[in-house]
């Protein structure tokens, strides 16, 4: 379901200057786990737009502090974390006003994540996503590279996918459950197999179209397998 929604968001035609409206983000992501959604949007801000702020405004850490406050609340849910997030959001409002017309969308996006801590709905999260896309589109417009417009939302979606749809962990062969042996199968060293005649066996070597295996009694045997 989520991959189809990401594909739909990528295919939507947004405003060339402002990107998608907040309603498009809400329609497709409203039922995503809120904590994970916040983490994903925080990562998108950090990855895609915050580095520019950090390079230009080395002494102004208000957006960074807003993101850190939101993350602290996600971890602790404490009253102190709520208060810190409120203060960070207010500081980001000031940062937005201080930089309006230049980098205000970066402060705006970070502010939304801090406000999301106390919000009764996901509106600040959608505002943050819209601010990210608008900031990326503004950068494209600044250098006249309008052919890169479609790439900007795809970059946002790539980060969201990474957080919301992480790949399954890779299980090493020795920790994977045993699989049935077949001469037409491909096996690797350390893999556990179940042989109809020999029972539980372990691959100790693989070369070409053969594997060496250890049998339950400690003896070894060479069997066929299909090389990749």
- Please list the pLDDT of the chain residue by residue as tens digits (228 residues): 899 999 999 999 999 999 999 999 999 999 999 999 999 999 999 999 999 999 999 999 999 999 999 999 999 999 999 999 999 999 999 999 999 998 999 999 999 999 999 999 999 999 999 999 999 999 999 999 999 999 999 999 999 999 999 888 877 888 889 999 999 999 999 999 999 999 999 999 999 999 999 999 999 999 999 988
Same domain, 88 and 135: yes
Residue 76 DSSP SS3: helix
Q: Which of 164, 181, 201 is the last residue in one of the domains?
A: 164
Same domain, 205 and 97: no
Is the dihedral angle over the CA atoms 53, 58, 63, 69 positive or is it negative? positive
The per-residue pLDDT for 8 is 96
Same domain, 213 and 193: yes
Same domain, 80 and 115: yes
**Number of domain units in the chain:** 2
Q: Which of 138, 164, 190 is the last residue in one of the domains?
A: 164
* Phi/psi-derived region of residue 75, left when phi > 0, alpha when psi is between -120 and 50, beta in every other case: alpha
Same domain, 194 and 91: no
Helix axes 34-44, 62-76, angle to 10 degrees: 160
Q: Which of 134, 164, 194 is the last residue in one of the domains?
A: 164
Instruction: Please state the separation of Cα 198 from the chain's center in Å.
Output: 45
Q: How far apart are CA 154 and CA 188, in angstroms?
A: 37
Same domain, 129 and 178: no
Same domain, 143 and 65: yes
Same domain, 22 and 86: yes
The per-residue pLDDT for 191 is 94
CA torsion 91-92-93-95 (nearest 10°) is 90
No. of helices (H) and no. of strands (E), the chain: 9, 5
Structural domain of residue 178, as residue ranges? 173-224
Same domain, 145 and 219: no
Same domain, 212 and 106: no
The per-residue pLDDT for 68 is 98
Same domain, 156 and 189: no
57 sits in which H/E element: none
Same domain, 201 and 107: no
């Amino acid at each position: 379901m989520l991959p189809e929604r990401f594909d739909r968001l990528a295919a939507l035609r947004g405003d060339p200057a402002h990107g998608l409206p907040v309603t498009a983000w809400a329609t497709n992501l409203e039922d995503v786990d809120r904590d994970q959604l916040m983490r994903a949007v925080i990562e998108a801000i950090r990855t895609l737009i915050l580095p520019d702020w950090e390079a230009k405004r080395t002494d102004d850490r208000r957006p960074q502090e807003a993101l850190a406050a939101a993350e602290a609340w996600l971890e602790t849910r404490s009253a102190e974390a709520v208060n810190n997030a409120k203060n960070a959001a207010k500081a980001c409002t000031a940062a937005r006003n201080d930089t309006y017309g230049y980098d205000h969308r970066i402060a705006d996006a970070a502010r939304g994540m801090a406000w999301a801590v106390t919000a009764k709905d996901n509106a600040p999260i959608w505002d943050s996503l819209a601010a990210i896309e608008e900031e990326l589109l503004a950068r494209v417009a600044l250098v006249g590279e309008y052919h890169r417009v479609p790439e900007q939302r795809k970059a946002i979606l790539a980060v969201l996918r990474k957080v919301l749809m992480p790949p399954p962990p890779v299980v090493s062969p020795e920790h994977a459950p045993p699989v049935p042996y077949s001469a037409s199968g491909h096996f690797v060293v350390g893999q556990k197999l179940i042989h109809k005649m020999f029972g539980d066996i372990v691959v100790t070597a693989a070369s070409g179209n053969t594997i060496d295996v250890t049998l339950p009694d400690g003896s070894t045997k060479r069997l066929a397998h299909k090389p990749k």
